[in-house]
Structure 1
């Protein structure tokens, strides 16, 4: 049986073509329907999956675990105290050991080079649950959510507002261009994405007749956007930069005034979570005490509005991760797409 995905790793979005990414999104939609109807889909029965987490996680860990269970596989969680790349054992040696015991490996951590080495030496499919450079499984969930809402992707405009140098901004920039979605990164000049990434996105955009924009002008950047997307201002490992990021990004907070600047009544709001929209967390309380700020990248009003689809987006992590695992490790018939 033919399966063009079988045995492949998913380390960054450019690992797959536009048509392959669209197939994964549509297949995830199908798997979501199967789960809602309680129809079993044990494509990975008898398989064992290693979940490697150097960075903590709620959605990624939950999604990979439930996805493995739904597919009939067993998942084993290995946290940062279980895997010590480079301290007690090299990535190459670890990859060879895990590849001999497990059928597939998920990695969530800091370095893209680690997930690349795991794929090179393990001999099994490896899936990137997040690195400092890319967040490919998040992208599938994002664009599934967008397609569910608008019933299309081509021709839509997505404006990402916030830290333009983090992994979510990188992935949105390139993935939007691949899929034919107009992308606008709206961020201070000092937080612009790497010029090489912008060039890569523009290359893809040329092929899909979409547009790529990077600007610090909020009015220009969000005008006519169909989707406003933001992320936390400070990523894991950058906590000492709170003051600097708040000073830089407070004008880019997603509030009702910014949403109105789209001049598009149908604009939706997305966030990959967690979000600092209220004072219900210790971190948020600390920030309020130190900096006098009760909301950060998004206001509670926008976060709780009917246009906010972030919880649908979070659920879609499960279905899209399941799609990736199933096609790269399962014996499915998938003709060339």
Structure 2
């Protein structure tokens, strides 16, 4: 069997993704019931971080421990990548010593190059173009609340050109829901990314119009790592796209709010929204752990979802 990688949401088929979400929910119950499930004993996950993180590191490291395996943290100071070794050479060496690799990086091309040279599965823990692991957690959270997103409307508000918007666009196509992206001009997805969402995606330059009647409101920070010099300009341009109580009032009465975190209260979201009763942000954050356990189990070729590979 060819090595499977998870570099973007569309690397898995719709049936695999749906089964993966159900498996994540089952693994969450196993953990909460105090059962021991350790199918990854003797296996090692290498975690390569070019970008810092709280949720990505803690969820992958804890998840691998709960599955009975070991996670190895590697920062730029801990590998020869930080001293000029090629991505391909690093991949060839590391993949001969570990069983899976997770990379959190800037350029998506680095992930593609690493995966092409790797003998083991590679997971995108975040790149500038995609954040598929976060989408697994978000979709799992929505599944827990509604069972399915099919036919519902999601509004993504803020910078529509970033990795979260891109991954939500892929999700809309796979899970058959409507996605409205509310962004100012100049902060919209590329034409190529819009194609990945097909007819499911609409781009609007008015935040209220984007959220009107929506079931789920999603946002992200206005300034990502590597964009710090643009922070002041971004704040001024994106200010009308803050998710606050006024904006939430235009959504469906039972609408939920998500944010991948970290959050800047008073910028992309008000405190009354993120800390309010319609926020599922903390469930969403916890679900990174369980969704990624299901993903690792699948890529290792173990567990009930592995049988679907190739469907």
TM-score bucket of the superposed structures, by smaller chain:
over 0.9
Instruction: Find the partner of 1:222 among 206, 211, 236.
Output: 211
Equivalences for residues 321-332 of structure 1 within 5 A: 321-332=292-303
* Secondary structure of 2:307's aligned partner: coil
* Secondary structure of 2:77's aligned partner: coil
CA deviation vs aligned residue, 1:264-300 (integer Å, no higher than 9, x gap): 11011000000011xxxxxxxxxxxxxxxxx100000
For the 8 Å contact 1:184–1:215, the answer to whether it is kept is yes
- The farther-off stretch of 10-19 and 77-86 is 77-86
Structure 2: unaligned runs, 5 residues or longer? none
Distance (Å, rounded) in 1 between the aligned partners of 2:177 and 2:39: 32
Q: Which residue of 2 aligns with 1:15?
A: 11
Question: Are residues 1:193 and 2:189 paired?
Answer: yes
Distance (Å, rounded) in 2 between the aligned partners of 1:107 and 1:275: 22
Instruction: Find the partner of 1:255 among 244, 252, 267.
Output: 244
Question: Are residues 1:65 and 2:61 paired?
Answer: yes
Question: Are residues 1:234 and 2:223 paired?
Answer: yes
Q: TM-score, normalised by structure 1?
A: 0.89
Q: Which residue of 1 aligns with 2:279?
A: 308
Question: Are residues 1:123 and 2:112 paired?
Answer: no
For the 8 Å contact 1:44–1:330, the answer to whether it is kept is no
Q: Which residue of 1 aligns with 2:89?
A: 93
Distance (Å, rounded) in 2 between the aligned partners of 1:218 and 1:267: 15
Instruction: Find the partner of 1:54 among 46, 50, 53.
Output: 50
Q: Which residue of 2 aligns with 1:282?
A: none
Distance (Å, rounded) in 2 between the aligned partners of 1:301 and 1:33: 30
Report the alpha carbon displacement of residue 81 of structure 1 after superposing the two structures with TM. 1.1
CA RMSD of aligned residues (A): 1.4
Q: Relative contact order: is structure 1 or structure 2 higher (C-alpha 8 Å, sep ≥ 6)? A: 1
Equivalences for residues 233-312 of structure 1 within 5 A: 233-262=222-251, 264-277=252-265, 295-312=266-283
Distance (Å, rounded) in 1 between the aligned partners of 2:277 and 2:7: 34
Q: Which residue of 2 aligns with 1:286?
A: none
* Secondary structure of 2:156's aligned partner: strand
Report the alpha carbon displacement of residue 85 of structure 1 after superposing the two structures with TM. 3.0
CA deviation vs aligned residue, 1:99-150 (integer Å, no higher than 9, x gap): 1110100000101111112211120001000000000100000000111111
Question: Are residues 1:319 and 2:307 paired?
Answer: no
For the 8 Å contact 1:177–1:183, the answer to whether it is kept is no
Report the alpha carbon displacement of residue 84 of structure 1 after superposing the two structures with TM. 4.7
Distance (Å, rounded) in 1 between the aligned partners of 2:307 and 2:47: 29
For the 8 Å contact 1:43–1:330, the answer to whether it is kept is no
Q: TM-score, normalised by structure 2?
A: 0.96
Check 1:249–1:230 CA distance in 2 against 1; reply closer, same or farther (3 A cut): same
Instruction: Find the partner of 2:177 among 167, 172, 181.
Output: 181
